[in-house]
Structure 1
């Protein structure tokens, strides 16, 4: 019997050779081990693919997709098309997550039968400044209203999504959009609620 991973982590990567090592280290070190890690190299022309390859050589949970540069939306869609986990977590290659982040979000999702779990985060600036990024506060029964009021943030990296939502509602990223693609995807999810 084929056992599917609990979480598929999707990492779009374009010319992030200076950042992706920290990102991948934070993912492979997760306390939740039953994950797959899908890294989509979006035509990088720096050492991004080399760094990804080193991680893939030592961790068989990492799937590398090397494609020509088509933008972050296309890279996210490629990752989604390969994901097999019950839940999807998306992270930008210049970000990182705490060691227990996926386990905590997964447990909340399972306990509450949640379609989406929203987590808080910090924005960590190079100068050492940490700013809290509070997501999902004051959510009520009107998700579209909450979205437009700013109670639900546009980011995908603060959310764990049930994978079958993407297939059930045929949701994907609008390709060609290079900035704000996560705004649209979250609007689509709010519109299905």
Structure 2
């Protein structure tokens, strides 16, 4: 086993990697994590009941690097694996890396420097899309910049000033106490959309850089990349989670939460209408889904704070109760 100088005078950073049937990708992921310029790492690979050789590959890497710990557990999904790693993490800071992705050698070093140097609760970086081995887009520090805002300010612009995705779990570093006892909802997809906003709402200072330090692998055929899959209806639960979270704070007089609540209601109802149209016109054999979505729209509209909406939106969403396919038709023609 290769011994690593852990430089105990530097804070420990825990990198949590959920692993499930990714034997084609996990080696590249682990190599990228092991090759970080910031050495004081705790690398936690959580094998979530893989039926291929993913777990064995992780063990092979653990034999070579004492920083790697491998957990083997029964399959519980991505959230369950992230939560299992979070529960045992010892680091002062935590990062989540998906096992089919990779990170730039300076990922942890640069995000830690932002957190420490700017006294931030979180740090966020840009994303390079494609395969980790692709060289068509060279990441350069030229033109890269860093900014510091509050988590609330970042939430106001859902994708940040430089369009850096903020809802995902994996292009970030979190100070441990920001995560606290918050965990990812298990048993559904879009789990980070129901969670990351809670971290941001707690964060007083968030540093972000547009430098593309996270390499996201786009795999064809996945639920997230497919044209439509009924499982994507679970994103509505994420909207509901955000709506309920903001409503709790808004009821206590938090004006930021009230603004976010109204925005989430707009987004929530719009997403229901888009899915309604897609299911009705693109999946004509799913009449049950059409009825479910329409019932959900009517229920959420009735429970909304619509009296606080601007007049145009109030009229539009009221009309959509009668003509629910209208919004989808407008969106489709505009594209």
Same-fold status (TM-score > 0.5)? yes
| Map of 1:183 onto structure 2 | 193
The structure with the greater share of residues assigned to helix is: 2
Structure 1, gaps ≥5 residues long: none
| Map of 2:15 onto structure 1 | 9
**2:169 is equivalent to residue 159 of structure 1:** no
Q: How many Å separate the matches in 2 of 1:188 and 1:112?
A: 21
| Map of 2:62 onto structure 1 | 56
Q: How many Å separate the matches in 1 of 2:101 and 2:133?
A: 15
Q: How many Å separate the matches in 1 of 2:172 and 2:102?
A: 14
TM-score, length-normalised on structure 2? 0.51
Q: How many Å separate the matches in 2 of 1:137 and 1:40?
A: 33
Give the match's secondary structure for 1:119: strand
The structure with the greater share of residues assigned to strand is: 1
**TM-superposition CA deviations, 1:132-186 (whole Å, max 9, x none):** 9x9x98966534322377665222221100011121xx21101112x21111121
Go from structure 1 to structure 2 and tell me whether the alpha carbon gap of 1:151 and 1:49 turns closer, same or farther (over 3 Å shift).
Answer: closer
Are the counterparts in 2 of residues 147 and 187 from structure 1 also a CA contact under 8 Å?
A: no
Give the match's secondary structure for 2:123: strand
* Matching of residues 165-176 of structure 1 within 5 Å: 165-167=178-180, 170-176=181-187
Are the counterparts in 2 of residues 122 and 131 from structure 1 also a CA contact under 8 Å?
A: no
Q: Between 154-163 and 119-128, report the one with greater CA deviation.
A: 119-128
**2:153 is equivalent to residue 142 of structure 1:** yes
Give the match's secondary structure for 1:94: coil
Give the match's secondary structure for 1:46: coil
Q: How many Å separate the matches in 2 of 1:29 and 1:127?
A: 15
| Map of 2:218 onto structure 1 | none
| Map of 2:53 onto structure 1 | 47
Give the match's secondary structure for 1:110: helix
Q: Note the C-alpha offset of 1:5.
A: 5.0
**2:102 is equivalent to residue 87 of structure 1:** no
Task: State the number of aligned residues.
Answer: 186
TM-score, length-normalised on structure 1? 0.86
Q: How many Å separate the matches in 2 of 1:49 and 1:72?
A: 15
**2:24 is equivalent to residue 18 of structure 1:** yes
Structure with higher Rg: it is 2
The alignment's C-alpha RMSD in Å is 2.6
Larger RCO of the pair (alpha carbons < 8 Å, separation 6+): 1
Give the match's secondary structure for 1:171: coil
Give the match's secondary structure for 1:147: coil
